Amino acid sequence: MKNLLCAAMLLLLTIPASAQMRVNLGEDSPLRKLQIAEVATTNLYVDSVDEQKLVEDAIRGMLEKLDPHSTYSNAKEVKQMNEPLNGNFEGIGVQFNMIDDTLMVIQPVTNGPSEKVGIIAGDRIVSVNDTAIAGVKMSKEEIMRRLRGPKGTKVVLGIVRSGIADRLTFTVVRDKIPVKSVDAAYMIRPGIGYIRIGNFGANTHKEFCDVLQDLYIEGMENLILDLQENGGGYLQAAVNIADEFLTKGDLIVYTEGRRVPRQEYRARGEGQFMQGKIIVLVDEYTASAAEIVTGAVQDQDRGYVVGRRTYGKGLVQRPIDLPDGSMIRLTIAHYYTPSGRCIQKPYEKGKPKDYAMDLVNRLKKGELTNQDSIHFADSLKFQTLNRHRIVYGGGGIMPDYFVPLDTTRYTPFHRQLAAKSIIIQQNLRYVDGHRKELQKQYPKFEKFKRHFSVPQSLVDDILAEAKKQKVEPKDNDELERTLPYLKLQLKALVARDLWDMSEYFSVINEESEIVKKAIEVLEQN
């Protein structure tokens, strides 16, 4: 009962006065009814009950009857959810993967605590504070728990390094580790910069501005902004990014709800990319804050959108913090693009499974592979604000240039290889065994990109491991269709392990139909 009262009081404190309602605590009120049910169950039920879980289940039950994006998260889930958006966590600062039940360092974070003490790519962490973590079937989550800890605390790591017989010991002082939301930034063609944003977090705008300046120095005139698979994040971060492109006073987005008055977000006109051409790349996983940026660029006729229809999340959630660290994320408004479009896709309250199946249904209907399969009602028709081009609301943002999903590239055999981590594992083994040789042969990425070819021995190792795990192509034709993209992926993964994610995307994007189309559009307009 106390928990429910606290939640009700906190809700009043969190919602602006203009949006508040009186909470009826009278004898006949729904809240009183809920209190009595909770107290009766806790005190009178035949078996003992977990009161905390009882309340949590009640909250979840209420929210499940609303829209698909109103949710409850316990304190642990809140912490995990916030780390990527807040822009940092506290730990030792390494990118790693598991190989043969052993944690292998892919890259230490630049200037992070591990790099400072001398831990290098390829090192295997076999113990943490004298507790073995290698070869003991410890879960990845448990290993991460042991490695992470408050800033300033020390952790002793046992390291096995290739070429050195004795086990090494490093004492690492944990620190704040930045979590980047800009995945990649590089010059994709002379005069054309490429930036990929993975999510919209607290530091996204600063990261974006930093790499933008670097690309200007390298001669960037036009920009490809890649928001594929970007699931969103903070609305204000999206507004700040859009503000870099738009003229002073241009509407970026506005929000409005039953109890929330209209709030507009407009450009200040002080952006760093006001003149060059811009192309935004999207796909069916581009959602929420990423759709805000996309809609603003499209509606203001600032640039073109290339790819496939976006996810369609146009609902605004307000976080309501509860006393125990848990959180309710309650939908309080819709957001609208500058032309007035609400791009939230249809949903039926209380049926989250149907909502979750939307992308599968799009694929079955041919919407991801054939533009003619996508139909919008005339009532959803809008016009862009300057050139008065026709755009549609009511279910994601339709790109100006549609690029179909290539279903032939990802064969069933390739999907099984990926699902069983065979590609990642064999790539790690290859890089681990040839790191020094590769670094000597390819001191610069440009040489690697031009001349490196995936050795047949690596492909043979993958096929042998696949056969061992009873994963085989149905015929030689499927194998031949699998190999081109498999080799491209392997080359990109080697580049990532030797350098970073910008180099990974520099390789993978050369065969991306969406990226190719973006370059074509830039060159023709």
Tally Cβ neighbours within 10 Å of residue 449: 16
Cβ atoms of residues 164 and 185 within 8 Å: no
Beta-carbon neighbour count of residue 485 at 10 Å? 17
How many whole angstroms separate alpha carbon 310 and alpha carbon 182?
20
Q: Single out the catalytic residue among 288, 326, 339, 506.
A: 288
Indicate which residue of 243, 283, 299, 500 is catalytic.
299
* Active-site residue (options: 123, 175, 277, 313): 313
Strands 71-73, 381-383: parallel, antiparallel or unpaired by DSSP? unpaired
Q: Which residue has the tokens 């008055």?
A: 261
Of the candidates 427, 435, 449, 440, the residue with the CA atom closest to the CA atom of residue 493 = 427
Q: Does the annotation count 288 as an active-site position?
A: yes
Secondary structure of 250-300 in HEC code, one letter for each residue: CEEEEEECCCCCCEEEECCCCCCCCCCCEEEEECCCCCCHHHHHHHHHHHC
356 Cβ neighbours under 8 A, 6+ residues apart: 68
The Cβ of residue 401 has, within 10 Å, a number of other Cβ atoms equal to: 15
Contact call for residues 201 and 179 (beta carbons, < 8 A): yes
Q: Quick check: is 512 catalytic?
A: no
Nearest to 344, CA basis, from 296, 312, 378: 312
Coarse DSSP helix, strand, coil percentages of the chain, rounded to the nearest 5 percent? 40, 20, 40
Dig out the tokens for 214 from the structure.
């670097």
Please, which residues bridge with residue 172 across strands? 155
DSSP, residue by residue, 383-408: E-SSS--EEE-SSS---SEE----TT
Q: Which residues are catalytic?
A: 288, 299, 313
